[in-house]
Chain A
Amino acid sequence: MRDRSRRVLVHVGTPKTGTSFVQDVLWLNRESLARQGILYPADRFDEHFLAALDLLELPWGGLERQAVGAWDRLAARIRDWSGTAIVSHEILATATRQQVRRALDSFGDAEVHVVLSARDLVRQIPAEWQENVKHRRTLGYRQFLDKVTDPGRNGELASWFWGVQEVPDILDRWGSRLPADQVHLITVPKPGAPRRLLWERFAAVLGLDAAALAPETTRANTSLGVPETALVRRINERVNNGVLRNEDYRLFVRELLVHRSLSLRTGSARLLLPPDVRSWAVRLSESWIEELHRRGYHVEGSLEELRPDPDGRAPFTDPDRPEERDVSDAAVHAVVTLLEELANVSGSLRAELEATYVELERSRSPWFRAKRRLRLEAGRRPAVGRALAAYRRVRRSSSRSA
């Protein structure tokens, strides 16, 4: 028997549909939400990601060590909560039926709602390739497209792609044991819609006060242009052979270069689908819309928004053959960013070193401090320098004679 006073809303994806943004709002407001009876169980911002890694038994560049037991801890907190709880991570979309069963069983007798946010496939496919590039992959765009359009879906890449993107299948895996009104599909508005609209849709499904939780977060999964993506792919080719460890890659390439620098260059050509793949994706989208209509899930937004826009708005720019001038422009931008960072880091390191010296000085004898002072002065005043050199010569000759 389900306890209707206890609800768990499980937001399982899809990537590139504002998930990072929503998770950040939930994380930043978790205390005020708890006062309203809504639990976002997290003591660190990536706690639900770690829980998902645990549930899916998924190694993730060393992070998995921190994920040991994370799902059970999350579920235990939810079972102990008397109101609504929210779980959100987009990689949950790939869960198998067995993993879904384990997840849903772990919430005890709470009424479970599954939430999926979705965007039209024509925008999702290029975004997924870009996400691949941001995760050290070096696969070309056309190779990527060939893999995802292959009906056999052979290989990990195609499996992962469809695991996180095939909306009807994700909802079947997660929602087939739930009544249709407990399965919620949030559609991402078309480009040009008010920025708050997606947030308002999330808030409506998650039972949040959209106005009260006016999002202040700046965390969003930003996209890159064509030359910027081509540049990062080339960087990957150079740094993957043991040059950068995963944690350094995350810090310097993904965080610094991609998120804080290259994604701000909004003037470059955007990544689109080539015409042949676009036509295929449009046909596939139609079959999804038809199927989702048939299933009768609760839709926040409109299934029409999953139908790609008529094409012809912008020409396709091939990221496998980018304009070299644009790539080198992006590269110069990247170098400047790195130099700025280097200057900042070395400046703060120098300051820290100075502070450490001061501390050390305090702990040392007056004679040592006087000598150090003299050395510093010798560097600044020539007269003191000459006197110190004379003193050293005398000392050396006296120690030799001894």
Chain B
Amino acid sequence: MSYQQAVWAWNQHLRAGGVTPWREWLRTRPEGGGTDDPHVPAAWVPPGAAQLEFVRLAALLGAHDPRFVRLADLATGRSGPGRGLAQQPLWWPPDVPGRRFGAPPVDPSQVPAEELVRVGVGALVELLLAVPEPPPRVRRRSRTARWRSGYVVEGAPVTRSALRRSLAEQGYAEGGRRPRVLLAVEPFDDLLAQVWSARVQRGAAVRWHGFVRRWAGRAALPPAADLPALARSWADRVGVDRVHVLVGADSSFDPAAAVRPAGRREEGVAGPEPEVRDLSPAAVDVLRRVNAVLSVRVAPERQRSVLPGLVDDLARVAPPGPGLTVPPPFQDWARSRAERIADELRSGDYPVHGSLEGILPRVAGLRTHPSRQDALAVVLAACLRQVR
């Protein structure tokens, strides 16, 4: 059996839901059976080790689904998008004839997770684009308080989004002429990670490390993370006493207490759909990789139409879990920036709920970049969900 025939036969094994690793399959494949000398179609291009190993891992999770074979063919019929390692042939006992040059062969089980994620993202993009363009989502707008004073939530985007939804569900209306302002403050590293997540959910493709590096090199902060500027801007409009600084999710302060004077309008109202979902770092990482591919595949409008459904799926397949902290080269910067923010908020005399110490970055015990293994689990689950 030639290399090409062996790869073809293993591919067929995987398409049928087989999960035997390559080297074990080579060792144990039936001698003299129908698979020993398979006919390989002339136009068939052998996939690389990463593509086939991705299919094997997907089979471990979802081979029972009748549409699994579609995912298998998508993953093996195209190469991983963007930059990465060259497509590597599979390990083969003797030297592969005609293969003195090119990327070195690899045992598929040794392919780095990064390459498997790349293959998965390529397949995921195909699945996303195969679905007809959905009608534009009509966002349920939150009710606004036009004549009475309502409230406004600013600050950490994910926390802000959840808070808005929670208050709306309790019947409070946003906006108004002199709203009460709730400024959601989180530890600075989490605050940055939330801004990163929000940007990726809107279509950005920037890596976490690059995002932090970019802002660490600037004097300014991302607008949603520039809490003193937000507080000042609102204080100028509504007065210092109406700007409530809410530190951390564990604050004993009930946010509704600040907006209660505005009064409830209606009980049992569904809140607005969250603008920013609470995604795990690995899910955000997968999403930003998908964004990178979509940016070269489709127009921005199409990308915008695809993202909400994918974000919903990613939120389902990957629970948020512990967040990210900033990479080591930027930890001193993060601490000094957080201290400055705390000082500025303190000197602004705003009502503060919780301790402003809570804005200091947490650092210890947290990942400094999304886990590639987690990203692989996310992209596998997202692909299997999309193909169904």
Q: Which residues of A contact B (CB under 8 A)?
A: 53-54, 57-59, 64-65, 67-68, 94, 96-99, 101, 151-156, 159-160, 162-163, 166, 168-169, 172-173, 241-243, 287-288, 291
Contacts and interface: CB of A to CB of B under 8 A. Distances in A.
Nearest to B86: A159
B340 interface: no
A159 B114 CA distance: 14
Contacts of B205: 59
Interface residues of B, number: 37
B103 A98 contact: no
Given A59-B295, A64-B295, A98-B77, A166 B45 contact: no
B33 to A, nearest CB: 28
A67 B82 CA distance: 13
Contacts of B85: 153-156, 159
Given A59-B82, A59-B296, A172-B102, 4 more contacts: A98-B79, A160-B83, A162-B86, A168-B100
Q: Which 6 A-B pairs have the closest CB atoms?
A: A241-B217, A57-B81, A64-B296, A96-B79, A242-B217, A169-B102
B101 A57 contact: no
B78 interface: yes
B98 interface: yes
B82 A96 contact: no
Nearest to A53: B296
Dominant SS at the A interface? helix
A95 to B, nearest CB: 9
Contacts, number: 91
A157 B218 CA distance: 28
B297 A57 contact: yes
9 contacts: A57-B122, A58-B296, A68-B299, A98-B47, A159-B85, A241-B216, A242-B215, A242-B218, A291-B100
Nearest to B48: A96
B46 interface: yes
A156 B84 contact: yes
Given A97-B45, A98-B45, A172 B296 contact: no
B296 A151 contact: no
A67 B79 CA distance: 18
B214 A152 contact: no
Contacts of A242: 213-215, 217-218
B87 A97 contact: yes
B261 interface: no
A168 B79 contact: no
Given A58-B82, A64-B295, A151-B104, A96 B215 contact: no
Contacts of A173: 102
Contacts of A288: 101
Nearest to B296: A64
Nearest to B218: A242
A27 B217 CA distance: 40
B309 interface: no
A99 B78 CA distance: 7
Nearest to A58: B82
B224 interface: no
Contacts of A162: 86, 103
B84 A159 contact: yes
A59 B203 CA distance: 14
B66 interface: no
Interface string B277-301: 0000000000000001101111110
A173 B84 CA distance: 17
B86 A241 contact: no
